[in-house]
Amino acid sequence: MRAPAHIQHPLLLWAWSLLRLDFVGVPFGALFFCLSLTPSLLPRDWLFQGLIGGLNASIGYAIGVLIGKAVRRFILRGRSWWPPAPRVLYWLKGVTVAASIAASLLMLVPASAWQRQVSTLMGIEGPDTPAYLRTLGISVLVGGLCVGMSRVFLDAAKLWARLFIRRWHLHHEVALFIGASIMVVVLIMLINGVLYRGFLTGASMVFQPQNSATRDGVTQPTAPQRSGSPTSFAPWDTLGYQGRNFVATGPDIDDLVRVNGRPAKEPIRVYAGLQTADSDAARMDVVIRELERTGAFDRKLLVIVPTTGTGWVNPVAARALETMYNGDTAMVAVQYSYLPSWISFLADREKSIESGRMLIDAIHDRWTALPPQGRPKLVLYGESLGSMAGQGAFPWLPDIARMDFSAVLWVGPPHESSLWSDLVARRDPGTPEVQPRYDNGRTVRFSQAADAEDIARIAEPPWNGTRVLFLQHASDPIIWWSPDLVFSRPQWLVEPPGVDRTASMRWYPIVTFWQVSADMTNASAVPGGHGHNYGDSVLDGWAAVVPPDGWTAADTERVRASLQKSAAKDGPAS
């Protein structure tokens, strides 16, 4: 496509050149766009789908351009019939572009139906077809931006090549290779240095003020059993946003008496924020002193909770266990970051694992110093990045039993979690990845957490000694996302789908990776029981791994009803 005659300025000519499209790249871009419309783990609205469609289309376009250049150079070059007559070539290009546009438009119709199908599985309303047609416009803008940026990159590489040719008389291809290499190095330095550090700096500027804030309605606790109280070694203003939520909410004695109908104890909640002490070791010292001050080692249960990136502790998990044990519990957690989990996963992954390991080791060492007859049951809980942090303390499964943990409940573990990934890889033959069985369930078991009955069935057979339970949704992208999705079909997409994953989902190279990556950003926004929102299924997990003596299914439902009434009081569950 030639530039109009009135465009003569070099910069205008260069800008116009960015609009030129390779007609071999266009159908590949359309193919990748159409594949990106296929369903994945979670529903996507038209705007979000447009972003993913544009990104995948630009990748497909780049692949098509490379294939076209290779074919023209190594296969068609020197052929007497190539290139064809200009009129034939124009017709060929026109038909290719028209077919690509038509296919993209037509694909939006089944795409909206697929999204309604996935939405139905989540119990929400899906998009209507006319609104979903807007996806194509967003995708064109995003894809065009990506292609334009790549053109700028290539033009810069060519500029370097021309400089090398003029100065050192290098061969054209050698000069172009060197120029491209320089731009790759510059791009890597730009991403890893300026952009990555700038992103983390920006994230800190956004989330650090929130860490200093306090949620409306949350006030300093007065009960001495809570960190942040006037008698606490962890001052209220040092606990951070999530720490203050944790210690200032949850059931008190009156709430527990009302639910359980018998005398109760004030639940103990111990917490240390980033500002509570200057180092990890000092924060561990504070929590040990807090446990001793509050009498935590005299309770029936002592629960260690490695936190997520912001220091969040699931209020449903905490309230559920405290209600089950009528307050005869002590929970302890430590903040290691104020960034959301997905940013912490990128920036502070090792920090989260180290913090979890230090917390577990410090409390376990103090616990083992107690007389065996007078120790509380030792329990470990972790959700999302907190699950990954907790697993980092154990090189292998038998270490959990050797440390005398009574029960471990891990919810929504990221795919990179060391223990989870090893257990799934070594699962019993014939068991699916979405609900594996390991060593016939002697110590560790897995549940899709789709409903209470599923978890109850998991716990029914004899389960002696330490109980370890993983709760994992078939639709949770936090669990199933992996870099391997780029070029490798995962086993969970070969097996029959889990209970809340659509059977229409298929694996496509590159495309599925970006689909699941996009799902991760929306993983907790879906209704409870799907995605990364585990709702009150954590209660069923507690009933499976560490039920009080004489506990029944009716007791579980009684506690579930109380959890639903208190949801607004404790704050968001995810």
Q: What is the rounded CA–CA span in Å between residue 284 and residue 537?
A: 30
Q: What is the rounded CA–CA span in Å between residue 44 and residue 519?
A: 8
Tokens describing residue 190? 């730009």
Characterize 477-502 residue by residue with b for buried, 16 or more Cβ atoms within 10 angstroms of its Cβ, and e for exposed. bbbbbeeebeeeebebbeeebbbbbb
pTM of the model: 0.88
Furthest-apart CA atoms within the chain: distance in Å:
95
Query: 392 to each of 117, 388, 416, how far by Cα in Å?
Result: 38, 6, 11
- For the four alpha carbons of 435, 438, 442 and 445, in that order, the dihedral sign comes to negative
pLDDT reported for residue 18? 47
Query: Within 13 Å and on the Cβ side, how many CA atoms surround 177?
Result: 5
Which candidate, 469, 464, 465, 468, places its Cα nearest to that of 454? 469
Helix (H, G, I), strand (E, B) or coil at 64: helix
Q: Which residue has the tokens 């003029």?
A: 166
pLDDT reported for residue 483? 93
Q: Which residue has the tokens 């529903």?
A: 43
Contacts of 220 (CB under 8 A, 6+ apart): 228, 229, 230, 236, 248
pLDDT below 50 — which residues of the chain? 1, 14-16, 18
Domain boundaries, the chain: 10-169, 213-473+534-567
pLDDT reported for residue 481? 94
The model's pLDDT over 346-370, given as tens digits with 9 standing for 90+, comes to: 666 778 888 899 999 999 999 999 9
- Residue 122 in contact with residue 527, Cβ under 8 Å? yes
Tally of residues, the chain:
574
Which candidate, 476, 342, 488, 471, places its Cα nearest to that of 40? 476
Three state DSSP letters for 315-376 = HHHHHHHHHHCCCCEEEEEECCCCCCHHHHHHHCHHHHHHHHHHHHHHHHHHHHCCCHHHCC
Q: Looking at this protein, which amino acid is placed at residue 196?
A: Y
Helix (H, G, I), strand (E, B) or coil at 261: coil
